[in-house]
Amino acid sequence: MHPLPKWLQVLHNSTFARLYLAQTINLVGDALTWLGLALLAFELAGEQSGTVLAVALTLRVTVFVLLSPIAGVLADRYDRKILMTWTHLARMLIVCLFPFVTQVWHIYTIVLTLNIFYAFFAPTYTATIPLVTTEADRSQAISLASATSQLLNVVGPSLAGSLAAVIGTRQVFFLDGFTFLLAAILIVTLPRKLTVQQNSAAPKTIHQTIADIKIGTVCLFADAPLRYALAMQLITAIAGAEILVNTVGHLQGSLHGGKLEYGWVMAAFGLGATVAALSSGYLKQKVSPILLISSGAVLMNLAVLPANFVNLGSLLILWMIAGAGQTLVNVMVQNLIADRVATEIQGRVYGAHFAWSHLWWVFAYPIAGWLGQHLPKYNFGVSSLVGLILLIVVWLALRPYLFTRLQQGQWHEHDHSHDEHHTHQHSFETTNQDTHCHLHFHAMTDF
């Protein structure tokens, strides 16, 4: 038997391999969902189908922002295997309602409900990767999962379109539901409970739950490297939204291209993202994650800068670089959270991160839309300049060059009691009468 390539050796971990396979099937299901939804929207709304999809995407992101922090709390409290199984089964039933849609408002209702369950699944899955892998193979596992996601972003729509052409637009949703069922079965067969050890002193009251929701955001903004990484994701979201919103108009207008050329350009973006994701595990061993995050943000904005003035061939190369830059940032942020946050609160931090990173896109999409409408000849360049200016401001304000060599240590929480001799206050805490959980960073030295 030939040994697996180095970037696949993490699949020797049978628990991760099963989780990874379930997520891959889930991603195929997502491709079927959105391709089928686009076709269904056109069937019901005709030329207004773009507006229908825009509203659907807005509902999706809004649900992510509102519910992902709550999902993180549940992921830290309960068996993640059960949570992921039930969210898959719920989505299986919901997508099977699409074939019976007759009104546009039906689409909105189903999309809203579907993404409520996705908002609970996504952070739970992300937080589970560090739980089922060792420190040695964790980075490679995150890289492989991200690369697969990027690759399916490229080939998924074509696969889904081919299936829809064979079995029909509405019937494709039943196949979609079957993929969620398969993923649920794989997760059920995982060999053990996927739970993290929690502090037992603080009862799970409403006040405690609210405090737990806050912990993820507090940790993201209290930790200097994570705070910087989140700012870099805002900067890449501005450039990323510009690419997603305005590439098709630029191709059909300035470059006189069509659907085929648009497919090539977006495939180049996905290819660059896939290569960067596969390389990130190796790069992390050689280069500081903070430097990789910074490099990714710079690469993406520099790639977008000349896009208004190049031909199709050059645009293919630029979008490949942009895809690599965005993925470097996103994958390294996931690694950074895994490295700097203890297992027992990773669910809450990943949940908060999922919400904040999607909130950036809520701001970025309108900016891209405005630039595309009012400055169509310079929209990419202006977007890039905005991103580069923000990058300089963040660099000067947060001074990441001071922590390229990251501290040894992690954020964690522990039980903490106050009595008449212990009356000090903490900057970040969750209180419950005299006993509470205290968020703290254990480190060798300070910044």
pLDDT score recorded for residue 7: 66
| 1-196 and 203-447 share one fold | yes
Please state, in angstroms and as integers, the Cα–Cα distance from residue 23 to each residue in 47, 183, 388, following that order: 34, 7, 35
pLDDT score recorded for residue 423: 45
Q: Name the range with the highest mean pLDDT among 32-36, 59-63, 250-254, 401-405.
A: 59-63
pLDDT at 98 over 70: yes
Lowest mean per-residue pLDDT among 89-103, 248-262, 280-294? 248-262
Find residue 411's DSSP bridge partners: 341, 441
Q: Sorting pLDDT into bands at 50, 70 and 90, what band is 415?
A: low
pLDDT at 322 over 50: yes
Domain ranges within the chain, ordered by starting residue: 1-196, 203-447
Smallest CA-to-CA distance from 20 within 120, 129, 118, 123 is with 129
The residues near 212 (Cβ < 8 Å, ≥ 6 apart) are 73, 76, 348, 430
pLDDT score recorded for residue 421: 44
The residues near 163 (Cβ < 8 Å, ≥ 6 apart) are 32, 172, 175
pLDDT at 429 over 50: no
On average, the pLDDT of the chain sits at 84
Please state, in angstroms and as integers, the Cα–Cα distance from residue 317 to each residue in 26, 57, 337, 423, following that order: 30, 28, 31, 60
pLDDT score recorded for residue 428: 44
pLDDT digits (tens, 9 = 90+) for 117-150: 999 999 999 999 988 888 888 888 999 999 888 8
Smallest CA-to-CA distance from 139 within 291, 346, 337, 281 is with 281
Q: Cβ distance 88 to 181 under 8 Å?
A: yes
- Mean pLDDT of the region 211-239: 90
Query: What's the token pair of residue 320?
Result: 């490949």
**How many CB atoms are closer than 10 A to CB 59?**
19
Q: Which residue has the tokens 């909105």?
A: 108
pLDDT digits (tens, 9 = 90+) for 304-316: 999 999 999 999 9
The proportion of the chain whose per-residue pLDDT surpasses 70, expressed as a percent, equals 87
Q: Which residue has the tokens 């960067």?
A: 276
Query: What's the token pair of residue 238?
Result: 């501005």
pLDDT score recorded for residue 442: 57
Alpha carbon 380 to its chain's center: 24
Largest CA distance in the chain: 76
pLDDT score recorded for residue 416: 52
pLDDT score recorded for residue 41: 84
Fold assignment, 203-447: Growth Hormone; Chain: A; (1.20.1250)
Q: Sorting pLDDT into bands at 50, 70 and 90, what band is 408?
A: low
Q: Which residue has the tokens 């470097």?
A: 328
pLDDT at 346 over 80: yes
Smallest CA-to-CA distance from 374 within 240, 249, 261, 235 is with 249
pLDDT score recorded for residue 424: 45
Query: What's the token pair of residue 177?
Result: 């539901």
pLDDT at 446 over 70: no
pLDDT at 359 over 90: yes
Smallest CA-to-CA distance from 441 within 339, 289, 353 is with 339
Fold assignment, 1-196: Growth Hormone; Chain: A; (1.20.1250)
| CA angle 47–53–58, rounded 5-degree value | 140
Query: What's the token pair of residue 148?
Result: 């697969």
Q: Which residue has the tokens 């997760």?
A: 187
- Written in H, E and C, the secondary structure of 84-148 is HHHHHHHHHHHHCCHHHCCCHHHHHHHHHHHHHHHHHHHHHHHHHHHHHCCCCCHHHHHHHHHHH
The residues near 199 (Cβ < 8 Å, ≥ 6 apart) are 344, 413, 414, 415, 437
pLDDT digits (tens, 9 = 90+) for 34-93: 888 888 888 888 767 767 877 888 888 899 999 999 999 898 888 999 999 999 999 999
The residues near 129 (Cβ < 8 Å, ≥ 6 apart) are 16, 19, 138, 141, 142, 145, 338
The whole-model pTM stands at 0.86
CA distance 301 to 313: 19
pLDDT score recorded for residue 199: 58
- Mean pLDDT of the region 231-259: 87
pLDDT digits (tens, 9 = 90+) for 328-341: 999 999 999 988 88
pLDDT digits (tens, 9 = 90+) for 187-216: 999 887 788 766 555 566 677 778 778 888
Q: Sorting pLDDT into bands at 50, 70 and 90, what band is 246?
A: confident
Q: Sorting pLDDT into bands at 50, 70 and 90, what band is 261?
A: confident
